[in-house]
């Protein structure tokens, strides 16, 4: 899909106005600043209190670990722990409880700020008891949502990190071992590769559905360092848009169907049909929309008439023809 409104002068089909030129220069400056940056976003990390020893691993890297009910530390890691919920975590939990994400948000989460990007996110609630157990923990049976447990719980004791290196377009993912003193699983003689552990824990659909979200967080983290377009910090509106798509999918659905969204963007009839009921498809559209609006990426095309109208309006505003 081509980008209808790239700010790169080489992408323009018509002559540039003075305003276009200024915006293009600012956009190129921003892109260069981002390309020079090394941005690291750490996701799917669950840690409690106490020091962590990070050990960097690749997919073929091996580590010793086994978690089982007979371990002396059984359930220790499900107390006073810090779990950021990803968009797909919220959808899975909502499905499990046969409810909608808004109910999960209001009953099982607490609001927080994502450390790397400053964006609003949700964390899993811990009970207001002495040891602060996770809201889903049954001390006898263990995790009561095991089949739908969040990505960070699946990954533990691994952390997932994305790093965008200087000069690289796409981020690289890597893993690291989180060694907390209370976790005795590291003392077990069960060796496995990261790839085997990931397969066993069923993280693939989580990574697949959360990829767009992580990409957006990485870009926003670079904004936090160098400033957004033209050096400005992300606005309240940016934060609201991000939260709506990543956490409150029904509000985003209303936004798509009850506003001029579908008149403004080219969305295929098949996709429109799908997003009426398919939350995961709507999530993908939401990430494409955020990338288009926030970073001018060619992920979602504006309809030609809307584009031409916007250009004419901009030209009229600066006295052009």
159 interacts with ligand SF4 by CB under 6 A: no
Q: Which is nearer to ligand SF4, 135 or 314 (CB)?
A: 135
74 interacts with ligand SF4 by CB under 6 A: yes
**Where does this chain touch ligand SF4 (CB under 6 A) — which range of 77-85, 197-205, 208-216, 228-236?**
77-85
Q: For tokens 């001018």, what's the residue? A: 296
Sole binder of ligand SF4 in the list 47, 81, 109, 299 (CB under 6 A) = 81
Sole binder of ligand SF4 in the list 122, 137, 160, 220 (CB under 6 A) = 137
* Residue 133, both tokens: 């157990």
Q: How far is CA 31 from CA 13, 130, 157, 211, in A?
A: 21, 49, 35, 21
Smallest gap from Cβ 102 to ligand SF4, in A, equals 20
Paired sense of beta strands 84-85 and 53-57, if any: unpaired
Q: Which is nearer to ligand SF4, 156 or 197 (CB)?
A: 156
**Sign of torsion, CA 95 242 296 226?**
negative
Site for ligand SF4 in 262-321 (CB under 6 A): none
Site for ligand SF4 in 97-136 (CB under 6 A): 134, 136
Q: Which is nearer to ligand SF4, 136 or 295 (CB)?
A: 136
92 interacts with ligand SF4 by CB under 6 A: no
Smallest gap from Cβ 131 to ligand SF4, in A, equals 12
Smallest gap from Cβ 309 to ligand SF4, in A, equals 48
Q: Which is nearer to ligand SF4, 160 or 275 (CB)?
A: 160
Q: What length is written for the chain? A: 321
The residue among 36, 24, 30 whose CA lies nearest residue 169 is: 36
Residue 55's contacts (CB-CB under 8 Å, 6 or more residues apart) are 63, 176, 177, 179
Residue 302's contacts (CB-CB under 8 Å, 6 or more residues apart) are 4, 5, 264, 265, 266, 310
**Could you tell me if 83 and 240 are in contact, meaning their C-beta atoms sit under 8 angstroms apart?**
no
- The terminus-to-terminus CA distance of the chain in angstroms comes to 29
52 interacts with ligand SF4 by CB under 6 A: no
**Where does this chain touch ligand SF4 (CB under 6 A) — which range of 106-114, 143-151, 239-247, 274-282?**
143-151
Three-state SS letters, 83-144: CEECHHHHHHHHHHCCCCHHHHHHHHEEEEECCCCCCEEEEECECCCCCCEECCEECCCEEC
Q: Which is nearer to ligand SF4, 134 or 218 (CB)?
A: 134
Give the residues lining the site for ligand SF4 (CB under 6 A).
Answer: 67, 71, 73-78, 81, 134, 136-137, 143, 145, 149-150, 153, 156, 182-185
């Amino acid at each position: 899909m081509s980008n209808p409104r790239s700010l790169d002068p080489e992408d323009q089909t018509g002559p540039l106005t003075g305003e276009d030129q200024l915006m293009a220069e600012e956009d190129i400056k921003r892109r260069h600043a981002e390309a020079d940056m090394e941005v690291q976003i750490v996701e799917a990390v669950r840690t409690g209190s106490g020091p962590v020893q990070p050990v960097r691993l690749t997919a073929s890297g091996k580590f010793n670990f086994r978690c089982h009910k007979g371990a002396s530390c059984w359930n220790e890691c499900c107390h006073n722990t810090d779990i950021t919920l990803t968009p797909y975590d919220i959808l899975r939990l909502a499905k499990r409880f046969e409810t909608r994400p808004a109910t999960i948000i209001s009953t099982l989460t607490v609001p927080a700020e994502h450390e790397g990007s400053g964006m609003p996110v949700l964390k899993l609630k811990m009970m207001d008891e002495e040891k602060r157990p996770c809201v889903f923990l049954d001390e006898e049976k263990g995790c009561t949502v095991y089949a739908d447990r969040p990505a960070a719980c699946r990954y533990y004791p691994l952390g997932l990190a994305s790093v965008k290196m200087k000069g690289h377009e796409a981020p690289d993912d890597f893993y690291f071992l989180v060694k907390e003193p209370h976790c005795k699983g590291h003392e077990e003689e069960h060796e496995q590769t990261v790839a085997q552990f990931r397969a066993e824990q069923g993280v693939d659909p989580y990574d697949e559905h959360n990829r767009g979200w992580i990409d957006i967080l990485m870009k926003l983290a670079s904004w936090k360092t160098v400033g957004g377009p033209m050096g400005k910090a992300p606005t309240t509106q940016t934060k609201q848009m991000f939260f709506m798509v990543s956490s409150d999918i029904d509000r985003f659905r209303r936004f798509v169907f009850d506003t001029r969204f579908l008149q403004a963007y080219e969305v295929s009839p098949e996709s429109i049909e799908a997003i009426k009921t398919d939350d995961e498809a709507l999530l993908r559209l939401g990430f494409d929309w955020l990338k288009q609006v926030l970073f001018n990426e060619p992920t979602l095309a504006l309809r030609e008439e809307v584009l031409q109208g916007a250009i004419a309006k901009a030209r009229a505003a600066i006295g052009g023809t």
